[in-house]
Structures are given as C-alpha cells and as structure tokens.
C-alpha cells in the first residue's frame, strides 16, 4: 500500500501541468491569505483608534449630570480575531459597532455588507472560500480517473493478481490524493501562523488545530468517495459526473434548502412585530396589567414608606435616579424576554442546521470552520451578551450616582465630577476559550468522523464486488 502511494506521488510530481497548477494555486492562496491578514490588521487599527477616541471622550468629561451621561453613552466594538482572516463567517453581515445607552438595547450597526458592493453570495475572497470549494474540486479532479484509468489500461487486474486487493488499491490512491489536499491546507495555515507569529496565543493554536482537523476529515471524505466512485463506474465521465453532482448538492443546494427549512420550522418575528411587541410590554407591562404609571406610583409609595417621609422632597436621596434605575430594570426584563426569545430561536435554527451534517458533511465543515475562527452566530451572540452586561453595569452605575451621590429629587442640574467618570471601567470583550466552546461543535466533528468511517467501511465490504474489467 505504501508502494502504491509512493508511486502515485511520483506520478503526480511527473505531471508538469499539475505542478504548475499547484504552484499557481499556492501563489494565489498565499496572496488571498496575505490580503485577508492585511485587511484584518487595518480593521483592527481602525477599530482600536475608534475605541481609544470614544474612551478619550468619556474620560474628558469634566462634570455632567449622570442621566445626561447615560444618554451620552458609549460604544462597544466587536473585535477582529486573528483567525477571522481565514473565515469571516457572519461578521460581514452582522455589523461590528454597538451603541450602549440608557433606556434601550440597540442592534449592531455598520456591517460591511451594508457599506460595500464587493460582498457577493459567497462572501469576500478569503482562504476559507478556497479551502472549502477549490481544494475539494482539485481533489475530485485528481481522483475521478484514478481507478477507471487502471481499468481502461488493463492494469487493475495485473495489480490484483500481484497481491494487491481492490480495497487496498482504493485506499492507497485515496490517501495519496488526500495527502495532497492536506499539504495545501497545511501550507495555508502555516502561512497564517508565520505572519501572525507574535500575536498567536495558546488558545489560537487550539482553535487552529480543530480547524485543521475539520478540513482534513472533509478532504478524506472527498478523496475516498471520489476514488470509490471511480472504482464502481466503468468510465471516467460517469465517475466525474456523479461526484460533481454530489459536490454541487452538498455545497449549493442542500445548504440553501435546509437553511430555508430551519427558518420555516423556527421562524423569527419580523422587525416590525419585534419592535411593536417590545413597545407594548414596555408601556403596558409584561403581563398587560402593570403599566408604567402604576409601577411609578407603587415605587413612590414603597420608597416614602421605607424612608418614613410624606413627600419626595423630604427624601435624603434623589428619587429620579431611583425611578430611572427601576425603569431600566424593568426594561431589562423586556429585553431579556424578546431578545432572549430571538436568541433561543436562532439557537434552535443553529442546532437544526447542524443536524444536516447527517446527510451533508459540508455543513459540518462550515460550522467547524466558522466556529473555531470565532466568526459564527454563537460567538456573535456571546459578544452581544457581554456588551449588554456592560451596558447594564454602566447605566446602573450612573443611576446609582444620580440617586445616592448627594443630589435631591428634581435637581437635574446636579453634576458628577471627572473622578467619578474616570472610575467607570471600560468595556473589554473576552472571547470564549476553546475548551468552553468545543461542546458546541462536537456534533459537527462526530458527523465528519462518521462520514469518513462509513465510506471506509463501504469500501472494505463492497470492494470484492467491483468489476475489474
């Protein structure tokens, strides 16, 4: 078997056209990788400059009413990760800037897709596009004639008579092509690592390892299945046509069909329905029986009784700040209800889409690629959660200062000093570590392993029935 693999590699290296194509492909892949890294670095610099500018504006506040500062707000910038230069996932369409202010939970803004004409159906030209579409095609074109050509030349019988079984021959030829795909993948990832060597963390190494594992499994599926079809069919044309049909089904039709199916089975409300429902809950109460005016009256009665006074003017604290925080707390319940419901629906859609890996290994590959690159919807939601947690901390800190900082009810001209605003910590997004997210993508790895295992078993048990003529 090793001899067959070595002979196949010798044949590959003797093919000048293949060597030239491989060289051109590697040059193109290197250029695409380099451009992706440069673009990432430029975005990181722009984002860092914007973040420093926003923070400098905040720290330059000399004196301001805390409620005014809550409306002034701040911004959270979704970080550009090192591995997103390989696979940008949903980042181009989700946006990367989030405004943080009182009374409202905003949506992400300034997505690249909304500002650029270069975003196509397949996204920008990133290494993932070549790794997911182009390299598998190369493997198909290298494998489709591997056995049928042996049949046509009459060498297949000779190889079998010399002691090489059909299954061993299929595996040997599959592995030789698979190693070629791994070589291209390894060079791509190595190029990424060498350029970003100073910025790589242990967690980045772990994520890169899982990305490498996912792609190698998918390439093994492509190489072995194509070689097996080459053995099953009598002509090169039939083998190539069949595998291309499978590839098109996996990469184009099934993702669209199953994606639409998940949206139908777990539909999201329209934007108008979403905003209307939140507005009603905000004003009428979550249960429809506790409107904002009634909540204000109840809070006022409670606080007056607590401090044993007859009017708001007698309170030692600022009731306005207390009321604003109570309204904020209630609003948080509304956001948790409606945004939480949307996130739950998206989570169900994600899980249902992952199940399509049973009949489409390409879906599992995409999930692994985006997931470990930190550019899928799950990472996006994690950023939104941390940003919302910070927004609540920021607004509560401002409202507490308004309440207990020394001002009285109705005193809207009271201002907090610069030291107070400097004491409020900045937002710092912490990307989840690999060991905390791997469980989310375990099912995708399992499906790829199952696909590879099933194909290997099929080859092992059915190779004896293959016609050698």
Q: What's the mean per-residue pLDDT of the chain?
A: 86
Q: DSSP readout, 139-199?
A: HHHHHTTTTHHHHHHTHHHHHHHTT--HHHHHHHHHHHHHHHHHHHHHHHHHHHHHHTGGG
**pLDDT for res 156:** 61
- State the Cα–Cα distance between residues 47 and 98, nearest whole angstrom: 12
Query: CA distances (Å), 273 to each of 105, 109, 279, 342, in order?
Result: 16, 20, 10, 12
Q: For the beta carbon of residue 389, count every other beta carbon within 10 angstroms.
A: 11
- State the Cα–Cα distance between residues 171 and 168, nearest whole angstrom: 5
**pLDDT for res 72:** 86
**pLDDT for res 423:** 93
CA triplet 285, 336, 393: central angle to 5 degrees? 105
Q: Is the pLDDT of residue 154 over 80?
A: no
Q: What does the pLDDT average to over 421-437?
A: 93
| Start-to-end CA span in the chain (Å) | 21
Which one has a higher pLDDT value, 284 or 350? 350
Q: Tell me if 370 sits within 8 A of 86, measured CB to CB.
A: no
Beta strands 63-64 and 416-417 are antiparallel
**pLDDT for res 292:** 73
Phi, psi at 319, each rounded to 5°: -65, -30
Q: Is the pLDDT of residue 469 over 60?
A: no
**pLDDT for res 120:** 46
Q: Tell me if 32 sits within 8 A of 122, measured CB to CB.
A: no
Q: What does the pLDDT average to over 49-60?
A: 92
Summarised one tens digit per residue, pLDDT across range 156-198 is: 666 666 656 778 888 988 998 999 899 999 988 888 888 877 7
Summarised one tens digit per residue, pLDDT across range 348-402 is: 999 999 999 999 999 999 999 999 999 999 999 999 999 999 999 999 999 999 9
**pLDDT for res 385:** 94
DSSP 231: H
Largest CA distance in the chain: 105
**pLDDT for res 199:** 79
Summarised one tens digit per residue, pLDDT across range 106-140 is: 888 766 654 454 444 445 668 888 899 989 999 99
Q: DSSP readout, 405-469?
A: SS--TT-TT--EEHHHHHHSPPP---PPPHHHHGGGSHHHHHHHHHHHHHHHHHHHHHGGGS---
Q: Does residue 319 sit in helix, strand or coil?
A: helix
- State the Cα–Cα distance between residues 380 and 78, nearest whole angstrom: 8
Q: What does the pLDDT average to over 51-75?
A: 90
Q: Is the pLDDT of residue 11 over 90?
A: no
Q: DSSP readout, 352-405?
A: HHHHGGGT-HHHHHHHHHHHHHT-SHHHHHHHHHHHHHHHHHHHHHHHHHHHHS
Q: Phi-psi bin for 317: left (phi > 0), alpha (psi -120 to 50), beta?
A: beta
Per the DSSP assignment, residues forming a β-bridge with 416 are: 64
Which one has a higher pLDDT value, 330 or 163? 330
Q: Is the pLDDT of residue 289 over 90?
A: no
H/E stretch holding 101 reads strand 97-101
**pLDDT for res 361:** 98
pTM score = 0.89
Q: Tell me if 459 sits within 8 A of 167, measured CB to CB.
A: yes
Q: What does the pLDDT average to over 244-268?
A: 95
H/E stretch holding 76 reads strand 74-77
Nearest of 324, 343, 325, 363 to residue 444 by alpha carbon: 363
Burial label for 304, CB within 10 Å (0-12, 13-18, 19+), is: middle
For the chain, the domains span 2-286+293-465
Tokens of 104: 């409202």
């Amino acid at each position: 078997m090793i001899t067959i693999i070595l002979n196949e590699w010798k044949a590959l290296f003797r093919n000048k056209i293949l060597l030239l194509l491989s060289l051109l492909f590697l040059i193109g892949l290197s250029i695409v990788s380099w451009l992706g890294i440069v673009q990432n670095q430029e975005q990181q610099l722009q984002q860092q400059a914007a973040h420093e500018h926003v923070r400098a504006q905040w720290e330059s506040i000399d004196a301001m009413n805390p409620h005014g500062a809550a409306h002034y707000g701040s911004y959270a910038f979704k970080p550009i990760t090192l591995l997103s230069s390989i696979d940008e996932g949903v980042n181009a369409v989700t946006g990367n800037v989030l405004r943080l202010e009182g009374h409202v939970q905003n949506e992400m803004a300034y997505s690249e897709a909304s500002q650029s004409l270069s975003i196509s159906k397949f996204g920008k030209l990133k290494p993932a596009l070549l790794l997911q579409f182009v390299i598998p095609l190369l493997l198909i074109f290298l494998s489709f004639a591997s056995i049928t050509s042996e049949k046509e030349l009459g060498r297949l019988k000779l190889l079998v008579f010399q002691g090489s079984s059909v299954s061993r021959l299929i595996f040997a030829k599959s592995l030789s092509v698979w190693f070629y795909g791994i070589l291209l993948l390894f060079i791509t990832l190595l190029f990424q690592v060498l350029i970003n060597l100073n910025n790589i963390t242990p967690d980045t190494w772990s994520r890169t390892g899982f990305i490498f594992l996912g792609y190698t499994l998918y390439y093994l599926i492509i190489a072995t299945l194509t070689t097996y079809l080459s053995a099953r069919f009598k002509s090169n044309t039939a083998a190539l046509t069949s595998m291309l049909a499978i590839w098109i089904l996996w990469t184009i039709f099934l993702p669209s069909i199953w994606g639409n199916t998940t949206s139908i089975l777990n539909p999201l409300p329209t934007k108008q329905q979403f905003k209307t429902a939140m507005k009603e809950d905000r004003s009428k109460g979550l249960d429809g029986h506790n409107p904002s005016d009634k909540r204000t009256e109840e809070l006022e009665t409670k606080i007056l009784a607590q401090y044993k006074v007859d009017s708001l003017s007698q309170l030692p604290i600022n009731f306005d700040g207390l009321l604003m925080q109570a309204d904020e707390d209630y609003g948080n319940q509304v956001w948790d209800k409606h945004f939480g419901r949307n996130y739950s629906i998206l989570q169900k859609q994600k899980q249902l889409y992952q199940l399509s890996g049973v009949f489409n290994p390409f879906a599992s590959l995409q999930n692994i690629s985006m997931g470990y690159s930190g550019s899928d919807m799950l990472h996006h939601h994690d950023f939104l959660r941390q940003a919302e947690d910070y927004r609540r901390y920021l607004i509560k800190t401002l409202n507490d200062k308004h309440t207990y900082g020394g001002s009285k009810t109705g005193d809207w001209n009271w201002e907090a000093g610069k030291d107070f605003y400097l004491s409020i910590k900045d937002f710092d997004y912490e990307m989840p570590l690999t060991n905390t997210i791997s469980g989310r993508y375990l099912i995708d790895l399992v499906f790829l392993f199952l696909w590879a295992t099933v194909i290997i078993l099929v080859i092992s048990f059915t190779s004896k029935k293959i016609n050698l003529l």
